[in-house]
Amino acid sequence: MALAGLSGIALVLRAAAVLHAFAIMEKEDIFKKTPCPAFLMFENAAYLADMSFELPCNCKPELATSVVWYFQKGMGSRQTRVLTDFDGTLIVDSSFIKVGSDMLKRFSIRMFSLIVFRVQVEDSGHYICGTKQGDFFYGYDVDVQASKGIGVAFADRNQHPQEDREETQFKVFTSFWDWTTCNRCDVRGEQRRIGLCYVKSSYLLRRYRTTTAEVASCGSNSIPRQFQGTLQHRKPEVVIRSCTKPCGKKKPSQKGEVSISDVISKIGEKPWVPEVPLQFHKQSLGSGLIISCPGARPEHAVAWDKDSTRLYLTSYLTGINGSMRVFIDHGNHLHIRFAQLSDRGTYYCWREGQMVAGFRLSVIYESRRRRSLDDPETLYAVKVIVTSYVLITVLFAVIHVVRCCLYAFRCTAGE
């Protein structure tokens, strides 16, 4: 019995040791598996303007319980900004982030990672993960390429992207992302493929880490300065093509024939209206309006319809026609310039192939009210008129003084 008791205790102790070892493996810090480099390196990453992305802090010492993210415009720059609080707990609500928001309002840190909302071209630079004491662990070389002036090609029209450009010391080309999902279902939709500018050269600075050897994005700090002047003229591009996909499995029809009463009851019904949340908005005649699709980001597949009319990108994408009054920008926003009465209707928004929202737009005519001298518009107009009058008066006086001087000089020379 004593031997049996001892063996039982040994088994229990052995099981407890196994469970303890398992618990230790479960609680093991993932940062132990990724040692920080002895020399700070920068990982190259490229994005299109207005996109949102996450930068993980891939390594840190075990004793560091929080991280601080720093921003540096270029190598050796003395101006370094702190993007988060020194406790590493700054969290913002992305629903309030808009284009033009302050730089510090567009960054958030969660679980040691830096989340950037609606990045802008001026946000390009070095992002460094470290501590408030100034110890740096991991860095990124972020290149934000402008969406303004982006090249557009339509695959259905046999249009081709920009051709590669080869120089003696480098080669410039476009690297495309995967095709987005079809932006509509059960009807003809469109797919979009974004391409960013990249360069291949053996002269890249070795302090920068890239996914492919000797390849970096065109705005990377790893590219020598003598190459950057040539690369400024290369723009990102987007390719668009048609597509179709089903919305999903339809409900199986009931067995048996449809009764005549059911057919008669459907006669005279209103046309089918999508069952999506509707928002109502009134817009003044002649004013501008920008509509955003709820929950959509620039990298999503988004489509717009007006009532039963499809607003395809082949006709409404910005940049196709310089005088477009209604267009869709590269951030998937619908723009209406100088609203007219014909713009009345319901605009439906598709996101990732599913219709998600509707906007009932009413265009109203507002009679011009009588303005007073206290109105900001009136004060601005008066200021412009007075400034213009003063400038014209000064110019008139200068012209006459110059003419008098020239006349006096001629008379003196004639004597």
CATH number at residue 65: 2.60.40.10
Among 145, 163, 193, give the residue marking a domain's end. Answer: 145
The total of other beta-carbon atoms located within 10 Å of residue 348's CB is 23
| Same domain assignment for residues 162 and 222 | yes
Tokens of 199: 């360069």
Q: Using alpha carbons only, what angle is made at residue 351 by residues 156 and 346, rounded to the nearest 5 degrees?
A: 95
Q: Using alpha carbons only, what angle is made at residue 50 by residues 46 and 51, rounded to the nearest 5 degrees?
A: 55
Q: How would you class 78 by CB atoms within 10 Å of its CB: exposed for 0-12, middle for 13-18, buried for 19 or more? A: exposed
The C-alpha atoms of residue 360 and residue 280 are separated, in whole angstroms, by: 5
Q: Give Cα separations from 74 to 105, 201, 271 (angstroms).
A: 21, 20, 59
| Same domain assignment for residues 290 and 203 | no
Among 98, 128, 145, give the residue marking a domain's end. Answer: 145
| Same domain assignment for residues 133 and 39 | yes
pLDDT string in tens for the chain (415-residue length): 444 443 444 444 344 443 344 333 343 444 455 667 777 889 999 999 888 888 998 887 777 777 888 888 877 666 778 876 545 444 444 444 444 444 456 777 777 888 888 788 888 999 988 887 778 888 999 999 998 888 899 999 988 888 888 888 899 999 999 999 999 999 999 999 999 999 999 999 988 888 888 999 999 999 988 887 778 788 899 999 999 999 876 544 444 444 444 544 455 555 556 788 899 999 988 888 999 899 888 889 999 999 999 999 999 998 777 678 999 988 889 999 889 999 999 999 999 999 999 999 999 887 655 556 665 556 767 888 988 999 999 999 999 899 888 888 777 766 6
